[in-house]
């Protein structure tokens, strides 16, 4: 498994320009990711290429520049803000004589650092092992400390084959455990959905302020910090709203550009809170000039998990940083499309509560109508 950067470990980050428009935002994001993993960004190497070099991704001249920067900055870790193939990673480590990790490995590492629940830890380990399965180039001992060959190898089996076999068994076990937890969660969720309670999920790009908003609405005391992936485990709380009664609101893991597919798959059980919601509150950092791209990335993941068609309200957060006024914007059908708030200062939260109350009342009325229609149908069947 990828080793976690030690606290304060000095890293050189590499960002290459292949013609993408938001290079500055990507560079800022990789800095935040490195710091969230506990590293210190000692230096940055940038460059422009038409396409990745098949052997080292960056090309011979750029690798030499990275090596010089490593020595000058006294760093011992290189982080590429790109996805490297196993061969490219091996070649870079051979050339640079230090550890090299890519964006996917870094995100997986942060998830491992943040996971606190038993289910979250299982999900992260599964994603890491599936990523590692393509990179088995040397023996690994984190699963079977006692392996030494005796009783562990099959006839004529190489160490690499043994490693793959052990990894495959562990992956299968993790999937079985997660499937069991998913079934248990499904039973609890169906019991909730049978009631009249409105179900609301907070979704959004990482560090958009979801957990701060969740705490402001529910006083739950969920960990919230100005860092990427502060929340990994879904937390649900009941929220009493005057004139509408109780609703259930859930805080979910944040999304990010190029979120590894293995993580989306592994966290599917956690993200089911979003799939089963009546309303998604899509929390957006309105102070970020990359907000449009971030919204696109969130909707892309919602597509992947089957939640794109759910009722969605944009929560334009952090208006205290933009001097925008709190307010509600309607769409062409006179339905609530956007609410401008500051989760930190509390501005606009009364408007958001009113919007949630409206959704809750609409659900109760729709349920009452469906019940009356079903009763009327039953009476007609009886008469006929």
The two tokens of residue 124 are: 């992260």
SS3 state at 340: strand
State yes or no: 231 annotated in a binding site: yes
Closest-CA residue to 79 (of 48, 34, 121, 117): 34
State yes or no: 251 annotated in a binding site: yes
CB-count exposure of residue 90 (10 Å: 0-12, 13-18, 19+): middle
252 Cα distance to chain centroid: 8
State yes or no: 318 annotated in a binding site: yes
State yes or no: 205 annotated in a binding site: yes
CB-count exposure of residue 221 (10 Å: 0-12, 13-18, 19+): exposed
State yes or no: 204 annotated in a binding site: yes
State yes or no: 211 annotated in a binding site: yes
The two tokens of residue 243 are: 């004139």
From CA 217, how far away is CA 237, in angstroms rounded? Answer: 10
Place of tokens 């957060």: 317
State yes or no: 22 annotated in a binding site: no
State yes or no: 320 annotated in a binding site: yes
State yes or no: 112 annotated in a binding site: no
State yes or no: 234 annotated in a binding site: no
State yes or no: 252 annotated in a binding site: yes
From CA 133, how far away is CA 192, in angstroms rounded? Answer: 38
State yes or no: 359 annotated in a binding site: no
From CA 19, how far away is CA 23, in angstroms rounded? Answer: 9
State yes or no: 254 annotated in a binding site: yes
State yes or no: 229 annotated in a binding site: yes
The two tokens of residue 278 are: 């009546």
SS3 state at 376: helix
Q: Write out the binding residues for GTP.
A: 204-211, 229-233, 251-254, 317-320, 342-344
Binding positions for Mg(2+)? 211, 231
**Residues that constitute the known binding site:** 204-211, 229-233, 251-254, 317-320, 342-344
């Amino acid at each position: 498994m990828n080793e976690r950067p030690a606290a304060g470990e000095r890293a050189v980050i590499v960002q290459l320009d292949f013609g993408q428009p938001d290079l500055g935002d990507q560079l800022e994001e990789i800095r935040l990711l490195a710091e969230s993993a506990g590293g210190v960004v000692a230096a940055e190497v940038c460059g422009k290429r038409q396409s990745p070099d098949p052997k080292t991704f960056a090309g011979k001249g750029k690798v030499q520049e990275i090596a010089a920067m490593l020595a000058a900055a006294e760093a011992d870790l290189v982080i590429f803000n790109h996805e490297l193939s196993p061969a490219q990673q091996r070649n870079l480590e051979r050339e640079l004589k230090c550890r090299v990790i890519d964006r996917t490995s870094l995100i997986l590492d942060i998830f491992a650092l943040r996971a606190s629940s038993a289910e979250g830890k299982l999900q992260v380990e599964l994603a890491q092992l599936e990523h590692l399965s393509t990179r088995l180039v040397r023996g690994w001992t984190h699963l079977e400390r006692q392996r030494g060959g005796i009783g562990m190898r099959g006839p004529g089996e190489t160490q690499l084959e043994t490693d793959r076999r052990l990894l495959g068994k562990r992956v299968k076990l993790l999937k079985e455990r997660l499937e069991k937890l998913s079934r248990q969660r499904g039973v609890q969720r169906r019991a909730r959905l049978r009631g009249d309670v409105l179900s609301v999920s907070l979704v959004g790009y990482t560090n958009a302020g979801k957990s701060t908003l969740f705490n402001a609405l529910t006083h739950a005391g969920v960990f919230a910090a100005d860092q990427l992936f502060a929340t990994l485990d879904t937390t649900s709380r009941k929220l009493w709203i005057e004139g509408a009664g109780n609703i259930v609101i859930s805080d979910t893991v944040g999304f990010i550009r190029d979120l590894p597919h293995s993580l989306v798959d592994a966290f599917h059980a956690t993200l089911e809170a979003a799939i089963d919601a009546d309303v998604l509150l899509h929390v957006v950092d309105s102070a970020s000039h990359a907000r449009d791209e971030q919204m696109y990335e969130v909707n892309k993941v919602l597509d992947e998990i089957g939640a794109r068609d759910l009722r969605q309200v944009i929560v334009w957060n952090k208006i205290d940083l933009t001097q925008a006024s709190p307010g509600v914007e309607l769409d062409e059908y006179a339905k609530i499309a956007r609410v401008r708030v500051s989760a930190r200062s509390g501005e606009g939260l009364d408007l958001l509560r009113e919007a949630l109350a409206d959704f809750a009342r609409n659900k109760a009325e729709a349920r009452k109508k469906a019940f009356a229609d079903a009763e009327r149908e039953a009476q007609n069947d009886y008469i006929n």
